[in-house]
Structure formats: C-alpha cells, structure tokens
Amino acid sequence: MTAQNSPRLRDLAAQHGFYVGTAVHTGAFTRAEAPYCDLLKREFNVIVAENMMKFVELSPAPDTYAWNAADALVDFAAANDMKLRGHTLVWHQQLPQWVTHRSWTPEEARSLLERHIKTVVGRYRGRVWAWDVVNEAIADTGGYRSDSFWYQQLGAEYIALAFQWAHEADPNAILYYNDYEAEGLSPKSDSVYELVRDLKQAEVPIHGVGWQMHLSEGWRVTAEHRSNAERLRGLGLELSMTEMDVRLSTPASAAQLESQARSYGEAMELALETCAALLTWGFTDKYSWIPGFRPGYGAALPFDADYQAKPAYTAMQQALLGAAQTAPLDQGA
Ligand code: XIL
C-alpha cells in the first residue's frame, strides 16, 4: 500500500483530537521540493523546524535576525491548517559564535537571553502552538548539564527565567521542557521529573514535557514508559513525543524494518493514551540527521528515500485506526 491511496495520518489523528507531525528540513523546504512538500501537507497536522528556529539560524550576528526561513514555515503551517511547534529557545548547542566566543557579565548574559526569547516568541505570538523553551538541560547521568553555556553563565536559574520570559511574550503558547533518553525510568528521567515538579511548585509557567524519542532498533514500550508518563501527567503537565526516529544499522533488512514498525506502532499507541502529539524527526530517509551523526546507522524514518511508505508508516496508521474503533471515524464528519 502506498501512502497515496490510504487514509492520511493527519485525518486519523484529528478524529482523536491528536496531532501527528514531523520536523521540517531547511533545504527541502526552502527549495520547495515538490514530493517533499506534498507529503508534508498530506500527512501531518503539526510541524516543527528541524533547525530554522535555533539561535544560530535566527541570529547569526549581534542585533541581527534572519527571519525568512522561519517566517515561511510559520506561514506554511497556517496555510495548511497545521499546528506549529517552536524549537528551541534555550539550548547549549547551535549557539552563534558571537554569543559563545566572548565573555559576558551575568547581567549581560541574562539580558541577552531575555532579549532573544522575547524577540522570537513575540514575533510569532499567537502563531506557535507550543514552544520547546528549554532543551536538554539535564545531564545524561542526572543533575544539571554543566557543559551548557547558559548554566555556566547564569546557573540553574536560567531555566525558570526562560519560561517566565516566554510566557510574558506569548501568554497562550504551551511551554515545554524537552529532552532525550528520559522516556523510561532512569537517573536522568528522575532529574527531569524533579526539575519540572519544582518548576510547577514554584508556579513557573511550564505546561509540558517533550520526550524526544531518538530510539534504536528493538525499542519497545514498557511499564516504565507508562509510569513515567503517569508521574509527569500527575503534575498537571501534558506530554508529547517530539523528535521520534528509530535508527537501524544500514543497509537495513526486511526484518529490521518490521521490527522498526513495531517501535513506531507501539509508540503511537502509547502517545494516543498519554500524549498531545507525536512528531518524527523528519519523515523521509532522504533527509535525516542520523547517518551524519551516527555513522553506520540510518533508515530511521517512516518513508524511504524515494518517499515510499515503509512498514513503520503502516504501523502508525494501524495504531491510529485501531484506536479509531473506540472513537468512530465518521464522528463529526
Ligand atoms: C539536530 C538536527 O537534526 C541537525 O540537522 C543539526 O545539525 C543538529 O541538531 N535533539 C534536538 C534537535 O533537540 O534539535 C537535534 O536536531 C537532534 C537532537
């Protein structure tokens, strides 16, 4: 079955008030590549910029903002009735050199961050559904990530400040903390939980937690994922799967693609129970960060490099259809 003559993920998702989406590749999008943009519009009802809204992309030089690509993405989302996730305001990576290669007093660093957040969130006020306000602030072994520019400049206080500033700039945006390898139970996911719990207790405007879901072959949903989801949601926070991919050693065999499909199907089932959205980090193997960052691995996304649907696509569709049996498809049609 090709994607062309089967129900679109976005229509199936919409029946559940759910959002299924993907990260958008700068090159394919700005060149307006036809098969890429057609599939993007066809299948998804939420998008996020893979890179276009990161600090280095938006502000390559002091007091200079380059909005073109990000503006085009915001317009594209609106024109195609898609929600938009903003990614990301505060991160230790993809910072411009003009920020990292000079010294700042704490006051200067603080106003730099405040200005950046308010400029970006303010520009897109009312047009961004959810912002990844702070990305990857927790270390792999738990505790704060100490190799972060922002942590080094401002201490852990930068996290609460960032949420406050984002909220001031767009009081209606849903504000997320986003991180990787914090989906199950581990010292890292404990630290994420404690961080967001403390922020909530301090009445900092935080509304959601993003599980990035950069997974590898053989990943399955376990009871740990459910209990982690439960404790986070117990804080009154929403949850989303924000950057899913499932890397395979390449070239991938048919058995590997089937195993990958199970990962996607199980993730979609869990997301329908516990999350507001599931986004993959790209949708075609033609444009995926995996081969560049993990040599020897790839084939991580639901469409192959020729835009053909893989078993992973069908598994997500089936999970959405399966859930549709309890919420009839003709409802509200
Ligand atoms: C990655 C992009 O996919 C690459 O193109 C870029 O060179 C580096 O960043 N976690 C995140 C994303 O939050 O922003 C990262 O995206 C992948 C890991």
Looking at ligand 1, which atom is closest to the CA of residue 54?
Answer: 14
**Residue at 20 is within a domain:** yes
**Residue at 4 is within a domain:** no
Sequential DSSP letters for 87-154: EEEE-SSS--HHHHTS---HHHHHHHHHHHHHHHHHHTTTT-SEEEEEE--B-TTSSB-TT-HHHHHH
Angstrom distance (rounded) from CA 268 to CA 279: 10
In this structure, which amino acid lies at residue 237? Answer: L
Cβ 242 under 6 angstroms from ligand 1: no
pLDDT (tens digit, 9 = 90+) per residue, 156-188? 999 999 999 999 999 999 999 999 999 999 999
- Please confirm, yes or no, whether 243 is among the known catalytic residues: yes
Kindly give the distance from the C-alpha atom of residue 235 to the centroid of ligand 1, in angstroms, as a whole number.
28
Count of alpha carbons within 13 Å of 60, Cβ hemisphere only? 5
Cβ 51 under 6 angstroms from ligand 1: yes
Number of domains in the chain: 1
Atom 16 of ligand 1: nearest residue by CA position: 50
Cβ 288 under 6 angstroms from ligand 1: no
Cβ 274 under 6 angstroms from ligand 1: no
Q: Which of 43, 50, 183, 243 is catalytic?
A: 243
pLDDT (tens digit, 9 = 90+) per residue, 182-231? 999 999 999 999 999 999 999 999 999 999 999 999 999 999 999 999 99
pLDDT value of position 329:
47
Task: Give Cα separations from 119 to 127, 151, 177 (angstroms).
Answer: 14, 21, 19
Looking at ligand 1, which atom is closest to the CA of residue 288?
Answer: 3
**Residue at 307 is within a domain:** yes
**Residue keyed to tokens 């976005």:** 10
Cβ 22 under 6 angstroms from ligand 1: no
Residue 178 β-bridge partners: 135, 210
Atom 15 of ligand 1: nearest residue by CA position: 50
**Residue at 29 is within a domain:** yes
Largest Cα span, the chain: 60
At 323, the pLDDT band (50, 70, 90 cuts) reads confident
Residue 13 is part of a domain; what is its CATH number?
3.20.20.80
pLDDT value of position 324:
60
**Residue at 78 is within a domain:** yes
**Residue 330: pLDDT over 50:** no
Kindly give the distance from the C-alpha atom of residue 51 to the centroid of ligand 1, in angstroms, as a whole number.
7
Count of alpha carbons within 13 Å of 86, Cβ hemisphere only? 28
Kindly give the distance from the C-alpha atom of residue 50 to the centroid of ligand 1, in angstroms, as a whole number.
6
pLDDT (tens digit, 9 = 90+) per residue, 52-110? 999 999 999 999 999 999 999 999 999 999 999 999 999 999 999 999 999 999 999 99
**Residue at 178 is within a domain:** yes
Kindly give the distance from the C-alpha atom of residue 25 to the centroid of ligand 1, in angstroms, as a whole number.
11
Cβ 132 under 6 angstroms from ligand 1: no
Cβ 256 under 6 angstroms from ligand 1: no
pLDDT value of position 233:
98
**Residue at 183 is within a domain:** yes
Angstrom distance (rounded) from CA 73 to CA 132: 16
Q: Which residue range is the domain that position 220 belongs to?
A: 9-330
* This prediction's pTM: 0.96
**Residue at 2 is within a domain:** no
Residue 131 β-bridge partners: 86, 175
